[in-house]
Structure 1
Amino acid sequence: MSAILDLQIACDSPNLPSAQDIQTWLDGVFTAQNVPENEITVRIVDAQESQALNLAYRGKDKPTNVLSFPFEAPVGMSLDLLGDLIVCASVVAAEATEQHKELQHHWAHMIVHGTLHLLGFDHIDDDEAQQMEDLEVAILKQFSIDDPYQDQ
């Protein structure tokens, strides 16, 4: 099971993960969830673009770490396209610092978290949140990344 990655870098930010790192994290989710080969766009953006999208689609006037936009094919059309992840580099970096996490580990968590959203997982109620967090922890463990929720 593997993802077909379309990586877009739309900001000038240091310490971004490599395309191979992102591919590895996506493949971890695809394998864990038995997802057939699908294309996924990961767009890494600045705070301005993240804030504009967050306002337009979620009504929140601030940048956010990751936004997920699942692809919904028109009736009768079949495309192997999972959707788009928009990740704000500066928010991810700031959160990693604030939460005392390795930057690369936080990037992995955001890619895994966003991809699970594309697959239909959510964290609106407590049961859904626990299920999603458990999946994230299990997937991240494959990459020797500690439970990102352990300090909460």
Structure 2
Amino acid sequence: MSQPDLSLSLQFADPRHKAVLPRHKVMRWMRAALELPGEMTVRIVDAEEGRTLNREYRQKDYATNVLTFDYTHEPVVAADLVICAEVVEREAREMGVDLTAHYAHMLVHGTLHAQGYDHEEDDEAECMEARETEILLALGFPDPYKK
């Protein structure tokens, strides 16, 4: 099965992990999670910008790993993903996982959110986690939920 087309804008407000996120890899990881063509922006930010956006849009006063702003689900998935470099780095270190693998997970996670996947309810979380695991294993990464 061929992967959907993806128009990607990749922005580095925080350039610390730019070498870990070459455009071709980001495209590959996101396309693996896309079910329809996509027009997406990925913005890598510092903790200050991440916290500001999370506070403004989710009323949560802390920087989180990934924020997804989804605009349309079909016929084209249109969304912005905001990923906080400091949070992703800290989580990878705390979980003892490779930084690249954790970024791939965050990009797959955000891309699924952009298509309407959610994890607020237990059954939704199980479905989303299973899909993330399936995609990441197919990309050669370990199961992000295996303890």
Is the CA contact 2:67–2:83 (under 8 Å) kept in the aligned structure 1?
A: yes
Amino acid at match of 1:22: V
Is the CA contact 1:2–1:26 (under 8 Å) kept in the aligned structure 2?
A: no
Report whether the alignment pairs 1:5 with 2:1: no
Counting aligned pairs with the same residue, the percent is 42
Which segments of 5 or more consecutive residues in structure 1 lack a partner in the other structure? Answer: none
Amino acid at match of 1:51: R
Which segments of 5 or more consecutive residues in structure 2 lack a partner in the other structure? Answer: none
Match of 1:55 in 2: 55
Q: What is the aligned counterpart of 1:140 among 118, 136, 139? A: 136
Instruction: Give the TM-score of the pair, scaled to structure 2.
Output: 0.91
Report whether the alignment pairs 1:126 with 2:130: no
Shift of 1:16: 3.5
4+ residue segments displaced more than 2 Å: 78-81
Match of 2:27 in 1: 23
Query: Which one has a larger percent helix, Structure 1 or Structure 2?
Result: 2
Shift of 1:2: 2.3
CA distance in 2, matches of 1:5, 1:146: 25
Instruction: Give the TM-score of the pair, scaled to structure 1.
Output: 0.88
Is the CA contact 2:77–2:115 (under 8 Å) kept in the aligned structure 1?
A: no
Q: What is the aligned counterpart of 2:96 among 94, 100, 116? A: 100
Is the CA contact 2:15–2:44 (under 8 Å) kept in the aligned structure 1?
A: no
Aligned residues: 143
Residues 135, 42 of structure 1: CA spacing in aligned structure 2 closer, same or farther, 3 A cutoff? same
Shift of 1:79: 8.2
The two structures, once aligned, show a CA RMSD in angstroms of 1.7
Is the CA contact 1:43–1:86 (under 8 Å) kept in the aligned structure 2?
A: yes
Shift of 1:81: 5.2
Residues 129, 47 of structure 1: CA spacing in aligned structure 2 closer, same or farther, 3 A cutoff? same
Higher Cα Rg: structure 1 or 2?
1
Residues 81, 137 of structure 1: CA spacing in aligned structure 2 closer, same or farther, 3 A cutoff? closer
